[in-house]
């Protein structure tokens, strides 16, 4: 699969994720940190705010910077969360449920593991706590070790991140957003999987194997979500 098509899919998934996040009844703002003008334009059109990735030092520094931008020192704000951007099937109600559960805890930080149980798709912090992101390999274990509480609700569309063709096929069966769906039928393996499910004919563009990290916020969005 050509690199340009792969990047188009990753950006489409991010835009669909932003759109779903903004549709949640408990989300006030979505802030994306990026230095890529293509990403900047696409997520602004979806309704997100954009700030430049000043740290330019990787995912966790970008997340910490976004948290500071979304919640300046001394400001009154309900809380923050970092959300994976490769959630093309995300349903607003699943995100709402997870954020409400996080907000009801006495713990100051909480996270949701991905479908495999090893990664993290959502990290939330209470108003009085820092975000303290620990993303990277085995981030679910890293977040648990840092003291964050693991949320165990089902929330299938929230947990369904996309790293492989098989992951995308699962997302298609759940029902992906319009930007991702517009890139359907370009990967035969995904199209065939879709034909066996409720969303026949949908497809995608993920190359086999793990999706590489993309520095310009195409793989992850750095989000400040109020709850």
| Rounded mean pLDDT for each run of 10 residues along the chain, 227 residues in total | 75 93 92 86 93 86 85 67 93 96 90 96 90 93 98 98 87 93 68 40 30 34 39
Nearest to 209 by CA among 4, 5, 6: 6
Look at residue 154 in the predicted model and tell me its pLDDT: 97
Look at residue 94 in the predicted model and tell me its pLDDT: 98
pTM over 0.95: no
Domains of the chain: 3-152+212-221 (3.90.550.10)
Look at residue 216 in the predicted model and tell me its pLDDT: 31
Look at residue 1 in the predicted model and tell me its pLDDT: 56
Look at residue 73 in the predicted model and tell me its pLDDT: 55
Backbone phi, psi, residue 224, to 5° = -105, 105
Backbone phi, psi, residue 13, to 5° = -65, -40
Look at residue 200 in the predicted model and tell me its pLDDT: 24
Look at residue 212 in the predicted model and tell me its pLDDT: 30
Beginning with the edge strand found earlier in the chain, give each strand of the sheet holding 149-150 in spatial order: 149-150, 109-113, 120-125, 80-84, 220-221
């Amino acid at each position: 699969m050509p690199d340009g098509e792969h990047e188009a899919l990753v950006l489409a998934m991010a835009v669909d994720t932003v759109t779903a996040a903004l549709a949640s009844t408990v989300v006030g703002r979505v802030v994306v940190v990026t230095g890529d003008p293509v990403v900047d334009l696409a997520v602004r059109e979806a309704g997100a705010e954009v700030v430049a990735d000043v740290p330019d030092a990787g995912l966790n520094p970008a997340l910490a910077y976004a948290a500071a931008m979304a919640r300046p020192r001394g400001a009154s704000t309900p809380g923050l969360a970092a959300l994976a951007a490769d959630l093309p099937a995300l349903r607003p109600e699943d995100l709402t449920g997870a954020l409400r559960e996080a907000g009801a805890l006495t713990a100051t930080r909480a996270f949701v593991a991905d479908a495999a149980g090893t990664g993290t798709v959502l990290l939330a912090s209470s108003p009085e706590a820092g975000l303290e992101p620990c993303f990277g390999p085995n981030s679910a274990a890293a977040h648990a070790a840092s003291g964050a509480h693991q949320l165990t609700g089902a929330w299938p569309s929230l947990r369904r991140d996309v790293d492989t063709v098989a992951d995308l096929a699962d997302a298609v069966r759940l029902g992906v957003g319009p930007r991702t769906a517009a890139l359907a039928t370009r990967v035969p393996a995904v199209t065939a999987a879709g034909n066996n499910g409720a969303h026949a004919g949908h497809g995608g563009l993920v190359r086999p194997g793990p999706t590489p990290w993309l520095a310009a916020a195409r793989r992850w969005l750095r989000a400040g979500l109020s709850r």
